[in-house]
Amino acid sequence: MKKDFLQVEVSKDYPEFRLTANLTVGEGEFFSLVGPSGCGKTTLLRLIAGLLQPDEGRIILAGRDLTTVPVAERRIGFVFQDYALFPHLTVEENIEYGLKVRRLPAVRRRERVQAMLTVFAITALAGRRVQELSGGERQRVALARALAPEPLLLLLDE
């Protein structure tokens, strides 16, 4: 039996509905949320990531209660549906952003950025601004940025 890696028991109230979620994901497992548009999939991901706070419940990742832990300390990578890249920054700067937020030393940041540029075959794009990229290139940059800090959990919104 696999060890529980992510446990979510949360509720979030809105004027028109209440989102209630109860799920457990085992260590090393992949999990997909499916449902019609507007059913709360993105809201649940935002709750897990810490971008929204639940009205009730808790979120436990790798044995640690994250319910009140700040976003930067959660060790969760998030690729947003619209990628949420910074258009005024270069590809390299976008990938480095989360590493700076987590206060990694400059040498370690450089290593991680270079590794991500190589892994995602975007080294040639390093100095380009995000607004100059195709949709597929933006998607790779967003994924590289999310994985650069070596998260325990990766959330992908569509």
Q: The whole model's pTM is what?
A: 0.87
Contact between residue 94 and residue 107 where contact means Cβ atoms under 8 Å apart: no
For residue 38, the model assigns a pLDDT of 86
Give the separation between CA 42 and CA 61, rounded to whole angstroms.
18
CA 71 to mean position of chain CA atoms: 10
Query: Per-residue pLDDT for 2 more than 80?
Result: no
Cα–Cα distance for residue pair 95/127, rounded to 1 Å: 11
Contact 91, 76 (CB under 8 A): no
Q: Using DSSP, state whether 112 is helix, strand or coil.
A: helix
Mean pLDDT of 29-35: 92
pLDDT tens, 95-152?
999 899 888 999 999 999 999 999 999 999 999 999 999 999 999 999 999 999 999 9
Contacts of 118 (CB under 8 A, 6+ apart): none
Q: What's the whole-number mean pLDDT along residues 24-48?
A: 93
CB–CB of 142/83 below 8 Å? Answer: yes
pLDDT tens digits along 42-51: 999 999 999 9
> Is the model's pLDDT at 15 over the cut of 80?
yes
**Mean pLDDT of all residues belonging to the chain:** 93
**DSSP state for residue 3 in the 8-state scheme:** P
Overall fold of domain 4-74: Rossmann fold (3.40.50)
Domain ranges of the chain: 4-74, 91-156
